[in-house]
Amino acid sequence: MNQLWAPWRIEYIQGEKDGSCIFCTASEKEIKDSLLLFKGSFSVVMLNKYPYNNGHIMIAPVRHVARTEDVTTEEGSDIFRMISRSTTVLTALFKPDGFNIGMNVGKAAGAGIDDHLHMHVVPRWNGDVNFMPALADVKVMPEHLSATFEKLKPFFERFTGS
């Protein structure tokens, strides 16, 4: 039997689940621990700790809200602005060939965090679906999450106050 080493998963598996919302508490933690790239008046931008691809970003309203119909005009506009800025930054740094952008609303739709709406911005490259997901149900990540964070953080710091 072949084994694949994924030591970052043990933190999630054995970690204490305190019931807190990662989007609401992100600014209360060490920035590297929360993976918070940006917090504005209406939205937050974070790296996904368990990404589909390198550079997988999540954008959420600052306010804890679970339903799309409860998002204010200001929140919706700011989230879309941050999607645009995020794709600009990701394009400049990682040169993806495209993006998957979307949200899963509710547990039945696949939302891992179903009580706080959030958008996913996932960079994609031609040919990034290699043999590993098909044969071993495993995704190969070519760069460590902390390295991706260090590359992205300075770009998002420029957005503070704008």
* CATH number of the domain bearing residue 75: 3.30.428.10
Question: What is the C-alpha end-to-end distance of the chain, expressed in Å?
Answer: 53
Residue 123 placed within a domain? yes
Alpha helix (H) residue ranges in 109-157 = 131-136, 145-157
Helix spans in 15-144 (H): 22-25, 31-34, 73-94, 131-136
Calculate the average pLDDT of the chain.
Answer: 82
Q: How many residues does the chain have?
A: 162
- Model-level pTM? 0.77
In this predicted structure, what is the pLDDT of residue 1?
44
Residue 100: enclosing H or E segment and its boundaries?
A: strand 98-102
Q: Which domain holds residue 31?
A: 22-157
pLDDT of residue 122: 92
**What phi, psi does 37 have (nearest 5°)?**
-95, -30
- The pLDDT, as a whole number, for residue 11 is 63
57 inside domain: yes
pLDDT at residue 29 in the model: 75
How many structural domains compose the chain? Answer: 1
Residues in the chain predicted with pLDDT less than 70, given as ranges, are 1-18, 31, 129-142, 160-162
The residue type of 113 is I
Residue 92 lies in a domain: yes
